[in-house]
Amino acid sequence: MKDKLFSLVGFSPLRDSFRIEILSGLTTFATMSYILALLPALFAPLEAKGYPIASTFTAITLASIVGTLLMAFVAHRPFGQAPGLTLNIFFIETVCLAMGYPWQFALTAVLIEGILFVLLCLSNLRHVIFDMLPASLKHAIAVGIGFFVAMIGFKNSGLLGSGTLFNHMETLTSNGSVLFVFGLILTGIFVVMRIRAGLLLTIIIITLAGIPMGVTTLPDHILSIPKSPAPLLFKFSWESLLLPDLWVCVLVMLFFDVFDSLGTIVGIMSNSGAMRKNGRIPHMRNIMLCDAMATITGACLGCSTVTTYVESATGVAEGGRTGLAALTTALCFVASLFLAPLFLTVPAAATAPVMVMAGFYLFGSVRYINLHKPEEVMPAFLTILLMPVTGSISDGIIAGLFTYITLSFITSWVRRRNSSTEQQ
């Protein structure tokens, strides 16, 4: 029975380590768990528009469970899924607040976007989009995501202010910043000494050290009863299908969802060694399909677009390679439905060093970029630079791809012209 379950998530006792996969899943959840507190807070402005805010935590957690289970049993990959932050902001700030549409309108757009994403994954267009990215750009995406994840870590630590600017040096004297620096050193020591579970150990040690320092706040209670998600289930606005604005929102969501997911998957898989020499990623169709199906499920549960989280890089850095890690992450989300106060005690100072270290692991993909070809180096450089600067994976990919196509066209044109001139 146990062997059959393992095979369902792509785990092989002869090839994979049970302990490493479990630790990987725990690490991914520990670095993702902040969303359980952050996402409901983001939806708070919609309460005045009738959004049932009390059910948000349950809906978000259920969407994360379903999405991550899909990754475990369909794609067999160690990725965690949850409603995406960028698309949450678009859902709330742009569609509902700026454009003034009800939240049911936005959920309808998410549902249609998810359906289109599924069709895209099942068609040859998926291959076209993936093959548009040259190998050098795929490795640059990994490096760019590394810097992006590391920057999130620094921001969560409090050492980064608005944009990418460091705060004043006095922030280094705060207890949270001191713990972050200590955690960064501790994580580095674990990595150098090749200690397995070093990332998870760092989170535990820093969380415990934060108790006497006032950084870790102990909960008043451990158990909690989740609110019913019923007020959010299947709340779609079918009459909105005739509105042009709906389809504009759908296309924007689809664009960001496809390229954010593609960038995250390519980046993490490239660093894990799963990417082949020709730039192909095994089971890419199933991975993207899981992302798309999770978006449809999330819309039915009342959530914005569900996507693969870059924090999964921490679990991959811990050694996770199969769906067993994703299954572990999903089970942690299940437990969080009832143990939310306990899981939310982990401070940002504990998870931030782990995210910086995950960025360090992803940085290793820079060695695969051919630095002797300027037409490949410049697009790679812009991809790497713009991901952390703009705070958007898709912006970095588009800038790099546009630059690569432009330079390749110009270079090819110049070479053909020179060749014809020499023949004359």
Give residue 407's Cα distance to chain centre.
30
pLDDT of residue 162: 56
Task: Show pLDDT as tens, one digit a residue, over the chain (424 residues).
Answer: 566 777 888 888 888 889 999 999 999 998 888 888 778 878 888 888 888 988 899 999 999 999 999 999 999 999 999 998 778 878 888 889 888 899 999 999 999 999 999 998 888 776 677 777 777 888 888 888 888 888 888 887 777 655 555 555 556 667 888 898 899 999 888 888 877 777 788 888 998 999 888 888 888 878 888 889 999 999 999 999 989 999 999 988 888 888 888 888 887 887 666 666 666 777 788 888 999 999 999 999 998 889 998 888 888 888 888 999 999 999 999 999 998 888 778 888 888 888 888 788 778 778 878 888 888 889 999 999 988 888 777 788 888 888 988 888 888 777 777 766 666 6
pLDDT of residue 347: 84
Within a 10 A sphere around the Cβ of 3, how many other Cβ atoms? Answer: 10
**Domain boundaries of the chain, sorted by first residue:** 2-372
Give residue 216's Cα distance to chain centre.
25
Whether 42 and 34 have beta carbons less than 8 Å apart is answered as no
Instruction: For residue 287, give the nearest of 255, 317, 322, 332 by alpha carbon.
Output: 322
Helix (H) or strand (E) holding 274: none
Within a 10 A sphere around the Cβ of 17, how many other Cβ atoms? Answer: 17
50: left (phi over 0), alpha (psi -120 to 50) or beta: left
C-alpha angle 73/75/80, rounded to 5°?
A: 85
Within a 10 A sphere around the Cβ of 62, how many other Cβ atoms? Answer: 23
**Given CA atoms 218, 223, 228, 232 in this order, what sign does their dihedral have?**
positive
Helix (H) or strand (E) holding 82: strand 81-83
pLDDT of residue 20: 92
Three-state DSSP class for residue 129: helix
Residue 77 CB partners (closer than 8 Å, separation 6+)? 10, 71, 283, 287, 322, 323, 326
Whether 79 and 286 have beta carbons less than 8 Å apart is answered as no
Q: Full-prediction pTM beyond 0.75?
A: yes
